[in-house]
Structure 1
Amino acid sequence: MAMGSLSDSDDDFNPEINTTPLVDVMLVLLIIFIITIPVMNHAVKIDLPRASNQPDEVKPESVNLSIDAQGKVFWNEEEIDSNQLSLRIAAAAQKQPQPELHLRAERTTQYEKVAQVMAAAQSGGLSKIGFVTDPEKK
């Protein structure tokens, strides 16, 4: 029996849409979503540890070591000789945290003097040596 048709032939075109399978599929999907949504929202409650964000690191001091064009050495703007330089480097190497050595030299300073100061710092135990330069002014 064809719905909406007055003839008994099966070859006639039926323009009506059968919505029964569509309703069945929608009901099945609705039931699946009703069951699975509470499972997806389930969360495990745990007590996480708290962390502080304050650094415990002490910033090391820096030592300004300058060499002028004549080869004179200045420790934090105080002129010293090679014996005092060795003693101060050894004392600075014993500090914790170890200070950084900022080495400044004039443009006309002989490289030999700079190399001697670097060798004294390395043999004295200072491991952090930085070169400080001034950019060329135009």
Structure 2
Amino acid sequence: MASRMRADDDGDLGENSEINVTPFIDVMLVLLIIFMIAAPLSTVDIPVELPVAVADAPERTADPVFITITEDLALSVGENKTTHERLYIDVGIATLQRRDTRIYIRSDKSVPYGEFIRVMNILRADGFLKVGLVGLDENVAQAPEGVQPEILP
């Protein structure tokens, strides 16, 4: 803080009503430098090439229940066509109302994610929580033309 001394003063300092912001600016600059140094250190990105995980397919039940979503968004339970409104009825018939039955969902890769989640929500709301997703094995997906791929759960 600054003070003014006059020649006629008897040594007493007068009050200064101005705010001295220099210490505040110094503190802010020190904090800015600390954050400029610390920020890049906290976001270090180490490039890592992760390996492909190839797990063995789980045991498939003798008579699995498949729900299929085709490219044109048509639904099927097993071989029977159904609708979103009848899906829980047809799944109940296919599983004999056993909620612990594992259900496999096959979906065309062009099906929007929202449609897939809609089917999952219908199953979850009806109490079917054991849902498996069906995909192609990496080696089978690259099979030569004319070879029938095996679908793995």
Pick the structure with more helix per residue: 1
Counterparts of 1:71-82 in structure 2 under 5 Å?
A: 71-82=73-84
- In 2, the alpha carbon distance for the partners of 1:126 and 1:60 equals 19
- Normalising by structure 2, we get a TM-score of 0.45
* Aligned residue-pair number: 79
- Local SS of the residue matching 2:133: strand
Stretches of structure 1 that go unaligned for 5 or more consecutive residues are 1-58
2:133 to 125, 131, 134: 131
- CA displacement at 1:94 relative to structure 2: 2.9
Q: Deviations over 1:78-97 (max 9, x none)?
A: 1111122022334537327x
Q: After the TM superposition, list the runs of 4 or more consecutive aligned residues in structure 1 that deviate by more than 4 angstroms.
A: none
Q: Deviations over 1:36-62 (max 9, x none)?
A: xxxxxxxxxxxxxxxxxxxxxxx6852
- CA displacement at 1:131 relative to structure 2: 0.2
- In 1, the alpha carbon distance for the partners of 2:81 and 2:110 equals 18
- In 2, the alpha carbon distance for the partners of 1:77 and 1:64 equals 9
Match of 1:99 in 2: 101
Stretches of structure 2 that go unaligned for 5 or more consecutive residues are 1-60, 144-153
The higher-RCO structure (CA 8 Å, 6+ apart) is 1
- CA displacement at 1:104 relative to structure 2: 0.4
Larger of the two Rg values belongs to structure: 1
Establish whether residue 121 from structure 1 lines up as the match of residue 123 from structure 2: yes
User: Percent identical across equivalent pairs?
Assistant: 16
- Normalising by structure 1, we get a TM-score of 0.50
Counterparts of 1:60-71 in structure 2 under 5 Å?
A: 61-71=63-73
